[in-house]
Structure 1
Amino acid sequence: MPQERETATGRCFVCKREFTFDPKEVVTFLIDPQTGFPPGFTALGTMRPATPEAVARSRDEPLCPDCHERAERYGARLDPPPPPQWPTWPPSGN
């Protein structure tokens, strides 16, 4: 008998859609339910040291594959292109 994979159902942290996932393979974020942000993030988007209380009350929230793919595409667009390379003058080898 083939081994069945464990599945769970949850809401995506970003888009709030319900989806079924393998808890061992899903991408998760540690989120503080009191603030709705990861511990240490502020409402202004800055970072501060996370308090032990915030980390203790935080829980892992799943991210659906669609949102994960969109985040990867967005991150790839933010990567700057490599700097231009100019040939040296006079050309070597002459």
Structure 2
Amino acid sequence: MTGLELAILDCANCGARFMACPQCVCTVRIDPQTGFPPDVRVIDGKAVHNPKPDPEAVQRSEKRPVCDDCVRKRNAIRQKGGKAAAHMEGPWETWEERHDRTHREGGRA
């Protein structure tokens, strides 16, 4: 890896502190009013996918970092498929994978 700049971040999913390149870290959009992604609703105390999120929640949502451990767990759930992963599209990259891809020598992906 070249051009490594690290920051201490808090994971939007698990809350753990971790170090990552702030330009390359995987992020999710979180609605600051609910603490959940705009496409998540809480029903009977359980977070469930909402295929039609509230446009206001989408607009006020903010990008928040996700640690590589949570990225790997999410990708494993998606690969297994099933009802819990039905709305998950495509794999996410860890910050190290994205950093390596985008900061190769010469600064080009």
TM over 0.5: yes
CA RMSD in angstroms, aligned pairs only? 2.0
Give, in whole Å, the separation in 2 of the partners of 1:66 and 1:18.
11
Tell me, which stretches of 5 or more residues in structure 2 are unaligned? 83-109
Instruction: Percent identity, please.
Output: 36
> Which one has the largest radius of gyration?
1
Given the superposition, is the C-alpha separation of residues 70 and 40 from structure 1 closer, same or farther in structure 2, using an over 3 Å criterion? Answer: closer
Report the AA paired with residue 50 of structure 1. D
Which of 28, 48, 54 is matched with 1:50 structurally?
Answer: 54
Which residue in 1 is equivalent to 2:9?
10
Give, in whole Å, the separation in 2 of the partners of 1:50 and 1:37.
12
Which of 64, 69, 89 is matched with 1:66 structurally?
Answer: 69
Report the AA paired with residue 58 of structure 1. S
TM-score by length of 1: 0.66
Structure 1 residue 37 displacement after superposition: 1.5
Structure 1 residue 43 displacement after superposition: 1.4
Report the AA paired with residue 68 of structure 2. P
Tell me, which stretches of 5 or more residues in structure 1 are unaligned? 80-94
**Higher RCO (C-alpha under 8 Å, 6+ residues apart):** 2
Q: Could you say which structure has the higher helix fraction?
A: 2
Which residue in 1 is equivalent to 2:99?
none
Residue 31 in 1 paired to residue 35 in 2? no
TM-score by length of 2: 0.58
Which residue in 2 is equivalent to 1:19?
18
Aligned pair count? 76
User: Any idea what the Cα deviations from partners look like across 1:44-77, whole Å, max 9, x if unmatched?
Assistant: 32423432x4234321111111111111112111
